[in-house]
């Protein structure tokens, strides 16, 4: 049985207007492609992406740091209440075949590191710019627009599916 691709969207719990607009468009495009959006289920980038996906008729899986499903933003369609705090960041990125980072703070940087450690491709838009100390490829694709970010993530997700 084939299932839809899952794309994790990560970013800060607060964001500027341009970042939140990008996140909402990323969510909308993920839903329009028939993929499932996975996020941290709370505010900021997570809520903007969830809103875009939900309003486009998509499925949004929110992985919460708290133990109450009531803590999810109103656009999340399925909630996983972990009760494990920031450690849930690992579950967010592990649940996607690809990850899109939109903006971000320290938690986003940790999620990028977890994603790469797990071999998940990361697409960054208005996010962290990183370089490897020893040189070599990081596995992070930089995108200028939500359209580029989603296209790259879906391509990477499809390559990971059996």
CA atoms within 13 A on the CB side of 137: 6
pLDDT band at 1; cut points 50, 70, 90 = very low
Q: What is the pLDDT of residue 162?
A: 60
Partners of 37 in beta bridges: 7, 60
pTM for this model (two decimals):
0.94
Q: Which domains does the chain have, with CATH numbers?
A: 6-143 (3.40.50.450)
User: Tell me: the pLDDT tens digits for 2-22?
Assistant: 889 999 999 999 989 999 999
Share of the chain above pLDDT 90, in %: 81
User: Tell me: the pLDDT tens digits for 110-123?
Assistant: 999 999 999 999 99
| Other C-beta atoms lying within 10 Å of the C-beta of residue 86 | 12
- Indicate the DSSP class of residue 70: G
| Helices and strands (H and E) in the chain: how many | 5, 7
Q: What is the pLDDT of residue 161?
A: 61
């Amino acid at each position: 049985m084939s299932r839809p691709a899952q794309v994790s969207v990560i970013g800060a719990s607060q964001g500027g207007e341009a970042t939140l607009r990008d996140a909402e468009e990323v969510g909308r495009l993920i839903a329009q492609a028939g993929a499932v959006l996975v996020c941290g289920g709370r505010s900021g980038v997570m809520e903007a992406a969830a809103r875009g996906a939900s309003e486009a008729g998509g499925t949004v899986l929110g992985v919460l740091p708290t133990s109450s499903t009531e803590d999810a933003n109103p656009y999340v369609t399925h909630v996983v209440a972990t009760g494990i705090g920031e450690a849930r960041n690992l579950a967010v990125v592990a649940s996607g075949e690809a990850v899109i980072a939109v903006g971000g703070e320290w938690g986003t940087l940790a999620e990028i590191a977890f994603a790469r450690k797990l071999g998940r491709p990361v697409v960054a838009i208005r996010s962290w710019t990183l370089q490897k100390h020893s040189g070599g490829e990081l596995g992070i694709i930089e995108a200028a627009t939500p359209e580029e970010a989603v296209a790259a993530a879906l391509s990477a997700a499809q390559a990971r599916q059996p």
